[in-house]
């Protein structure tokens, strides 16, 4: 919403000419970067031990309490838990510079009772949440430790934050709270989420609905002819299946769950489906949303038309399961160029794209926000078979995050 596509192209092609200076030669930063590599085992230990504390959606408090302790032991100040459950710790600078939020998310997608014990299998750590987002939390702890070890100072201020509710059911509740009740003006927002060395500069938006088709129901033989909620739902699914969507900007739809019915010989009083719509473009997402609403209404009308004047027509009820705004990819902003320059200073060029993370919300408000991967190699996110392999250079993730953060906090070359 902040940028049009042609403008983006212009900004992106200007990247080389507008290199952001990064302080990769500053002696205190060099010391911090070296300490990250040297203390790599500590980072992994943080990642594993955090992962073994369960943090199902809406039940992140225990993991949050532990993060409070770790923030304090690393010398962060004013460490607290806000009313939504976010854990916040501060590392002030010399004053007069921008405020940078450096965050990872506390929650996982896994329900209570999931076995979260991490097992080491060769060089691979296996455990639900080990990459998403225990890697992010371990990375921000490592950055806090390295800044302390290198005695790094900068004009701005860094707020270290463990957010709640990043995953689906939480619908970004932590980051929404943070920006609706900001502890101070936030100039830059970084989410460290997942693994690899990718940079997210756009937000894939999503709309999710539970759609309930309702009627009185009745006997399949005796009440035959009565409009049937499940039949109406079937008509709707057939229409959704035929939607045409663009591949660029990537736009998708899915009917993920269907339910309803009591027996084979009953006209069910209820048919329900859960639908997920996503797009990299706010306009396409909105267009798809309208298409879905029209398709459902048409399906209901067609089903009811089988029994004109019926006293028991099918009706439909929409239950909103979450809206995440889409924001077009923007690699030309200062925050994106800082992350790209920091990657290059460390010897790699980050791949950029759009995804769905905590950064969606500040992006939608026009706040400069990105998501950085935390390094290493992750597999099977959101499955109980999730694994993490540090690879030969896992420490590059935390180094990249540190260098990007201090650049944004105003530490010049």
List contacts with Zn ion (CB under 5 A).
132-133, 193
Nearer to Zn ion, 55 or 118 (CB): 55
The residues, ordered by sequence, that sit 6+ positions from 203 with a Cβ below 8 Å of its Cβ are 324, 325, 326, 327, 354, 355, 356, 357, 359, 360, 363, 364
Residue 108 C-beta: closest distance to Zn ion, Å? 9
CB-based contact 348:91 (threshold 8 Å): no
> Whole-number minimum distance, CB 406 to Zn ion, in Å?
24
Q: Measured between alpha carbons, how far apart are the two ends of the chain, in Å?
A: 33
Q: Which is nearer to Zn ion, 98 or 170 (CB)?
A: 170
In whole angstroms, give the CA distance from residue 388 to residue 177: 30
Minimum CB separation from Zn ion for residue 271, in Å?
33
Task: Tell me whether residue 297 or residue 383 sits nearer to Zn ion (CB atom).
Answer: 383
| Comparison of 66 and 132: residue with beta carbon closer to Zn ion | 132
Q: Closer to Zn ion at the Cβ: 109 or 211?
A: 109
Neighbours of 369 (CB within 10 A): 29
**CA diameter of the chain:** 84
CB of 193 to Zn ion, least distance (A): 4
Least distance (Å) between residue 355 CB and Zn ion: 9
Q: How far is the CB of 358 from Zn ion (least distance, A)?
A: 8
Distance (Å, whole) CA 49 – CA 89: 20
Distance CA 206, CA 289 (A): 10
Question: Minimum distance between the CB of residue 102 and Zn ion, rounded to whole angstroms?
Answer: 15
User: Of 98 and 104, which has the nearer Cβ to Zn ion?
Assistant: 104
């Amino acid at each position: 919403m902040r940028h049009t596509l042609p403008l983006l192209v212009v900004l992106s092609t200007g990247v080389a000419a507008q290199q952001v200076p990064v302080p990769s030669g500053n002696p205190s930063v060099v010391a911090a970067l070296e300490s990250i590599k040297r203390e790599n085992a500590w980072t992994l230990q943080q990642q594993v031990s955090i992962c073994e504390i369960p943090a199902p959606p809406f039940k992140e408090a225990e993991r949050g309490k532990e993060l409070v302790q770790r923030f304090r032991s690393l010398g962060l100040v004013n460490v607290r838990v806000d009313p939504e459950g976010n854990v916040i710790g501060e590392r002030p600078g010399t004053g007069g510079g921008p405020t940078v939020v450096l965050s990872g998310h506390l929650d996982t997608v896994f329900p209570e009772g999931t076995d979260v014990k991490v097992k080491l299998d060769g060089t691979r750590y296996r455990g639900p949440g080990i990459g998403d987002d225990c890697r992010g939390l371990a990375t921000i702890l490592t950055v806090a430790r390295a800044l302390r070890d290198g005695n790094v100072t900068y004009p701005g201020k860094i707020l270290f934050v463990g957010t709640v509710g990043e995953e689906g059911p939480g619908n970004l509740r932590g980051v929404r709270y943070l920006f609706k009740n900001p502890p101070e003006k936030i100039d830059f927002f970084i989410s460290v989420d997942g693994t690899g060395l990718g940079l997210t500069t756009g937000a894939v938006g999503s709309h999710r609905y539970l759609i309930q088709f309702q009627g009185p129901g009745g006997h399949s033989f005796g009440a035959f002819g009565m409009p049937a909620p499940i039949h109406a739902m079937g008509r709707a699914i057939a229409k959704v299946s035929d939607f045409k969507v663009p591949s660029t900007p990537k736009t998708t739809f899915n009917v993920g769950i269907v339910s309803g019915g009591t027996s084979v010989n009953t006209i069910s009083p209820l048919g329900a489906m859960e639908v997920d719509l996503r797009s990299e473009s706010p306009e396409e997402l909105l267009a798809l949303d309208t298409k879905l609403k029209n398709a459902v209404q048409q399906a209901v009308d067609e089903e009811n038309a089988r029994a004109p004047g019926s006293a028991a027509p099918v009706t439909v009820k929409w239950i909103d399961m979450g809206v995440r705004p889409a924001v077009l990819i923007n690699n030309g902003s200062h925050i994106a160029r800082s992350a790209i320059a920091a990657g290059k200073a460390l010897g790699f060029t980050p791949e950029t794209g759009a995804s769905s993370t905590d950064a969606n919300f500040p992006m939608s408000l026009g706040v400069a926000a990105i998501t950085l991967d935390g390094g290493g190699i992750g597999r099977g996110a959101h499955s109980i078979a999730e694994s993490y392999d540090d690879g030969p250079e896992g420490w590059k993730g935390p180094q990249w995050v540190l260098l990007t953060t201090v650049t944004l906090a105003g530490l010049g070359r």
